[in-house]
Amino acid sequence: MKKLVSVLTWILLIVWALLVLFPFYWMLLTSFKSYGAYNAEFIPRFIMTDPTLDNYREAFQGVPLLKYLWNTLFFTLCTTALMMIISVLAAFAFARLRFPGSDLLFLLLLSLMMIPAELVVITTFVTLTDLGLRNSFPGLILPSVASVFYIYLLKENFEQIPDSLYYAAKVDGTSDLKYLLRVLCPMCRPTLMTITILKIIECWNAYIWPRLITDDPRYYLVSNGIQELRENGFGRENIPAMMAALVVVSLPLIILFLVFRDRIMEGVARGGLKG
């Protein structure tokens, strides 16, 4: 009985692991099949016979994939950097610089976490359209910068640093800003890194807002790029080239994940994001 449970456990886990990995395998596999070979298959082939890099060439030449990647990188870096600066400053103010009404203000801030993005996207879209910010990087970046959740997470972390360090820094003639940069941030580096990585993942996969605010391919991010590719580009018939594009788009994040997997998983577990 005990043995049977153990065997079933392994089977369950291995089957699910295969189900998780299979789409990635299929994506990779198909991306190396030639256009002709793929379309001529009567029965799908599970192994590679004639690997070719043509699809990758096609992916980069057929659409401005490099441009999309560059846009996404730029968008991700700007958004993450701005978000970090704003959140760190705000969290510091809430955690350290007590001021009249700070508790109330923080409570109000927390209540903003309950507002679903779908509700505010509409007016934001109208506002930015009125400002003529459609198809522009400011239009892409600005609404994605503010994050109540990260401010909350940082504030909690900042508050764990003993008060006496702040007083010691003050007695030694340190300004608030310098204390933040020289003492608080280095001490909270794990949390800062977790937040940075989570935000990068969020930005890289962003689809809904970029889709609304851009309709000019020059400002497409990878998500919009591949969607566009699939509906109006070669993705309609050239599946292998499509898969090659998907591999290129997915790879950076998978590498990032494999490098920082413990930190990312711990951060997500702590934050309970993507609710």
- Out of 59, 78, 142, 192, name the contact with another protein by CB under 8 A: 142
242 counts as binding another protein under rule CB under 8 A: yes
- Out of 4, 43, 104, 107, name the contact with another protein by CB under 8 A: 43
Least distance in angstroms from the C-beta of 235 to another protein:
8
**Burial of 82 (C-beta count, 10 Å sphere; 0-12/13-18/19+):** middle
Nearby residues of 256 by Cβ (< 8 Å), 6 or more positions away: 197, 200, 201
- Out of 60, 74, 137, 257, name the contact with another protein by CB under 8 A: 257
- Judged by CB under 8 A, the number of residues near another protein is 112
Piece of the chain touching another protein by CB under 8 A; list 53-61, 62-70, 73-81, 89-97? 89-97
Piece of the chain touching another protein by CB under 8 A; list 52-60, 61-69, 73-81, 258-266? 258-266
* Residues constituting the chain: 275
Cβ(263)–Cβ(197) under 8 Å? yes
- Out of 146, 149, 181, 193, name the contact with another protein by CB under 8 A: 146
Contact flags string 58-87 toward another protein, x per CB under 8 A: ---------------------------xxx
Q: Which helix (H) or strand (E) holds 195?
A: helix 189-204
Piece of the chain touching another protein by CB under 8 A; list 52-60, 62-70, 73-81, 248-256? 248-256
- Out of 63, 65, 195, 201, name the contact with another protein by CB under 8 A: 201
From residue 1, alpha-carbon distances to 10, 14, 15 in Å are: 14, 20, 21
Q: Which helix (H) or strand (E) holds 35?
A: helix 35-40
Contact flags string 164-193 toward another protein, x per CB under 8 A: xxxxxxxxxxxxx-x---xx--xx-x----
Neighbours of 144 (CB within 10 A): 20
Least distance in angstroms from the C-beta of 53 to another protein:
19
Burial profile 5-34: b = 16 or more Cβ within 10 angstroms, e = fewer: eeeeeeeeeeeeeeeeeeeeeeebbbbbbb
Nearest CB to another protein, comparing residues 67 and 121 = 121
160 counts as binding another protein under rule CB under 8 A: no
> In terms of Cα–Cα distance, which of 239, 236, 209 is closest to 224?
209
